[in-house]
A = this chain, B = another copy of it.
Amino acid sequence: MAEPEQLASALRLLQGDGCPLRGIFDEATSRWATLIMAALITGPHRFAELRDRLGGISEKMLAQKLKAMVRAGLVARDAKPTVPPQVTYSLTELGASMAGPLTGLFRWFGSHGDELTRAQRAYDAG
């Protein structure tokens, strides 16, 4: 197969033999994290903006996921000490570097969405 060794190493790490990356990977590719990343790719956003842009996420989950992503070094939190508080979230350099591969995935879904839904409908029909 001769995959590039970087991929091979990623695969090995993902097999889960107590590797710490596995947890981070699960978190970073979890349901909301990818969508939050997508929302932040276009630039910094405030808490309420993210909540509105995402569609269906609860404030609890949003706060929780954002905290985890800050912890993973993907997202930067910038809180201005004003009243009312004004908190802005943005991608860190690390997060921005992940954005590239991620938008690849998003674009793929954008262009193959029809095939997916058609395949699924065909399967259900058969």
Q: What residues of chain A have their CB less than 8 Å away from a CB belonging to chain B?
A: 1, 3-4, 6-7, 9-11, 13-17, 20-21, 24-26, 28-31, 34-35, 38-39, 41-43, 53-56, 70-73, 94, 97-98, 100-113, 115-120, 122-124
Residues of B within 8 A of A72 (CB): 116, 119-120, 123
Residues from chain B with Cβ under 8 Å of A98 in the complex: 105, 108, 112
**Chain B residue contacts of A42, Cβ below 8 A:** 1, 3, 11
For A54, what are the chain B residues with a Cβ–Cβ distance below 8 Å? 15-16
Given A1-B42, A25-B109, A26-B31, 16 other A-B residues pairs in contact with their CB atoms under 8 A: A4-B107, A6-B111, A10-B107, A11-B42, A13-B109, A13-B110, A14-B35, A14-B55, A16-B54, A29-B105, A72-B119, A72-B123, A73-B115, A97-B108, A101-B107, A101-B108
Question: Which one, B4, B6, B38, contacts A14 given CB within 8 A?
Answer: B38
Question: With the chains together, A108 CA to B94 CA distance in Å?
Answer: 10
**Contacting pair B106 A11 (CB below 8 A):** yes
Q: Is the CB of B120 within 8 A of A13?
A: no
Q: Are A109 and B21 in contact (CB under 8 A)?
A: yes
